[in-house]
């Protein structure tokens, strides 16, 4: 008799190819209408599933995880960030948590570089002028932006995405600076010609552009606080493709509204999907709907990672992308 396929509950609609493969390999329960699950639906799924495959829209706190059935042994997250999962609570119950690292790196770095360009050169604002019929011909002083070459970029978080961004930014002539929990290896630092700043405060005060590329953890919540944001120079731009909670959004909106900094490019928001109303009214902000990893290739690769983690667990081995609480 063939072994029983594990019950895998998928919380959101995934690409067709990923869902088809999951149906072939597992007893997969799909979310065909893509309606986000509320706490009650998630609790019910945790009681029935052997494996839960959630996304960033699912808040799996300690109280919800405590309601999981004894058969639940794996939470195979569709995404890199796991700040929506109480990994420590899952670990205490003997539940593995996995994510999908690596496959988002290049596309996220591309979009981050795009936000730097769009913010500095006022691309979205210019496109809006065309759409509104406000382009009446070229003039020497209209729609002036900022040159990238020769400016300083400060990267907060020099992991995979931060390093990929550094390579792109260097091609545009930006000098690379970074703040991280610890310096990168000498080989990487030499390759990127990157300057390490142990003090985030000192780095912020000297940069022309700042990019947030670190994970959201309890230690990075409001890492860019109102106090730190005030350290930015008036001509500085800030870009965030990591997590909205890392920046004090209300304080950032106030600085932008007053013209205390030059501009911002935001793909994520503190109270997502809600966006601070002040930001929506500003012309010096480029706002995107959390789309840094939104390419067909990345979504397929993410799905493949989820499947590999589940199959490895099925075979009695530790999944390759297991998230360890002590390393968060």
User: Which pLDDT tens digit goes with each residue over 264-305?
Assistant: 999 999 999 999 999 999 999 999 999 999 999 999 999 999
Q: What is the pLDDT of residue 222?
A: 98
Bridge partners (DSSP) listed for residue 179: 156
Query: Which of these is catalytic: 290, 304, 311, 322?
Result: 290
Residue 18 has phi, psi (to 5 degrees) of -70, -45
Cα→Cα distances 120→194, 266, 267, Å: 22, 13, 16
Examine the residue annotation and report whether 168 is marked as an active-site residue of this protein. Answer: no
The topology (CATH level 3) of 105-287 is Rossmann fold (3.40.50)
Active-site position among 29, 257, 272, 304: 272
Res. 327: pLDDT tops 60: no
Q: How far is CA 93 from CA 54, 57, 70, 74, 90, in A?
A: 18, 22, 9, 11, 5
Predicted local distance difference test score (pLDDT) of residue 325: 86
CATH architecture of the region 7-103+295-327 = 3-Layer(aba) Sandwich (3.40)
- Looking at residue 328, its pLDDT comes to 52
Q: pLDDT tens, 184-205? A: 999 999 999 999 999 999 999 9
Pick the catalytic residue: 160, 216, 243, 299?
243
Question: Where residue 1 falls among pLDDT bands split at 50, 70, 90?
Answer: very low
Q: Is 222 a catalytic residue?
A: no
d(CA 124, CA 309): 40
Is 136 tagged catalytic?
no
pLDDT in tens, 51-92: 999 999 999 999 999 999 999 999 999 999 999 999 999 999
CATH 3.40.50.720 domain extents, the chain: 7-103+295-327, 105-287
Q: pLDDT tens-digit profile of 11-25?
A: 999 999 999 999 999
Confidence of residue 4 (pLDDT cuts 50, 70, 90): confident
Residue 53 and residue 47: Cα distance in Å, rounded? 14
| C-beta separation of 298 from 107 below 8 A | yes
Question: What is residue 23's three-state secondary structure?
Answer: helix
């Amino acid at each position: 008799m063939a072994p029983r396929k594990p019950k895998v509950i998928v919380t959101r609609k995934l690409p067709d190819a990923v869902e088809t493969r999951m149906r072939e390999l597992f007893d997969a329960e799909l979310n065909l209408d893509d309606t986000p699950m509320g706490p009650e639906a998630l609790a019910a799924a945790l009681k029935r599933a052997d494996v839960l495959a959630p996304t960033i829209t699912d808040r799996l706190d300690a109280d919800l995880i405590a309601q999981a059935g004894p058969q639940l042994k794996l939470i195979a997250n569709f995404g890199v960030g796991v700040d929506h999962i109480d990994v420590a609570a899952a670990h205490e119950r003997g539940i593995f948590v996995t994510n999908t690292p690596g496959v988002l790196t290049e596309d996220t770095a591309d979009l981050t570089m795009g936000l730097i360009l769009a913010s500095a050169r006022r691309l979205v604002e210019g496109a809006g002028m065309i759409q509104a019929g406000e382009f009446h011909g070229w003039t020497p002083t209209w729609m002036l932006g900022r040159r990238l070459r020769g400016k300083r970029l400060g990267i907060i978080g020099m992991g995979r995405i931060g390093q990929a961004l550094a390579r792109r930014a260097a091609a545009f002539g930006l000098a690379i600076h970074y703040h991280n929990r610890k310096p990168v290896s000498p080989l990487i630092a030499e390759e990127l010609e990157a300057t390490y700043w142990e003090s985030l405060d000192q780095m912020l005060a000297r940069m022309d552009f700042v990019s947030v590329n670190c994970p959201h953890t309890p230690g990075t919540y409001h890492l860019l606080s109102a106090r730190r944001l005030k350290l930015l120079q008036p001509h500085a731009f800030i870009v965030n493709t990591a997590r909205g909670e890392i920046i004090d959004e209300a304080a950032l909106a106030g600085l932008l509204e007053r013209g205390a900094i030059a501009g911002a490019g935001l793909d994520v928001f503190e109270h997502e999907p809600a966006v601070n109303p002040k930001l929506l009214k500003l012309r010096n902000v480029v706002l995107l709907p959390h789309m840094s990893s939104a390419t067909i290739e990345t979504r397929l690769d993410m799905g493949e990672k989820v499947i590999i983690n589940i199959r490895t667990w099925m075979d009695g081995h530790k999944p390759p992308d297991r998230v360890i609480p002590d390393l968060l």
